[in-house]
Structure 1
């Protein structure tokens, strides 16, 4: 199997001590490429630097997560436009709305999200279209409304780390958006409903991710002592996903890899 982890927070400080070893374990497990998540002004340049250090293996996103929405200033907007001039940056985001934690005020979240949707529209108009790497939690109605306002002006979108309801899933699929599945699927407390829902995701709309170092799969054995998730555990998520979809692991692996490669326009 050759897998692509579409959501890896490799700039997180928990990886500072052994980042190369983490990636070697992932490579040994069959993870060939990773999209490194940029989600704040501090981490976007770090993620780009990491992506440039392993050309062809690591790629980057650049955006501002709703938790950091208050930092979205004119200077931040200019920084993002500059970052997206680099070919290693393959998606706008992580961006969206999060009304579950409200780490930033909701008006600030909506302003930051709108600016990043405009960034995606600007890139498309300039002939450099990039997909959106999206976050949504407990904000479905506002999220849909804001995305709808940019219909026809932005490219494809993936709802990263999908944890939502059947209604939310079908709203996204009806709009031809992609879905990212993480180890949340393996959580018997919070992710049990996903076991049934993932059967409804067309193969050409489905991608996989660890969101490491977060969301360690609870069905993983043995558990790492430090409870840190890492990309080497992506095959475990794929195996669980394949079981729930009623298909061979090789089929799920090949399909999600092909979908991710096309979505992010990665080299063969």
Structure 2
């Protein structure tokens, strides 16, 4: 099997390996939560020692659960808006488009899907993955205001992010959020959020791909912190991995902890925390 190297990627770009490997480890479980066979195929196509991307206890489960939560948010939006535009920010080697359209193709017939990431990451995606029907690649940094230029702004849009906003500064998040509401007429933004404490420890979790140990991500104390960055956003709801249906597939110890933390908002936010906004 021919494999591709990723030596040219920056440490920030290589963080895609963390979520990819999380999905692979989940797929290899006896009772997978996500069962992303495409992730396993992609990992095999990369010339990299994946064993060096060590994930802490519970991280593969967290990756799988938040993927499921984001999957459900996007699917619900598309069922309400059959002419929607889906935009995945910092897509990395995410396989969400493939997963959702393969399992239930009919609602996606008129939906256009845009995967946005650095040009180098998009080139890697295009080498490893065939472009899905009505799929579009956008190889532009989110800090470049032109990233929206090729994406329709006059259709209902669901913008999602699995991790990337937590790697931007507060000012950069303000710029990206403003670009979303300036360009898209109506829609929803959904992403996994980090508490400020979790964000301060980001470097500890990402040093396995070369990120500085002292790297600090962007975290929030409350969902309204995001609306303070952009008042054009209206908070809808927050969901916790501790209350997600996938928790019932975890081992007994995890299930008991999840049930305990599900009713303890402050603690639940330190785990898988997905927030949703309207614009």
Please classify the TM superposition score into its range, dividing by the shorter chain length.
Answer: 0.3 to 0.5
TM-score (norm. length: structure 1):
0.37
TM-score (norm. length: structure 2):
0.36
Question: Which structure is higher in RCO with an 8 Å CA cutoff and minimum separation 6?
Answer: 1
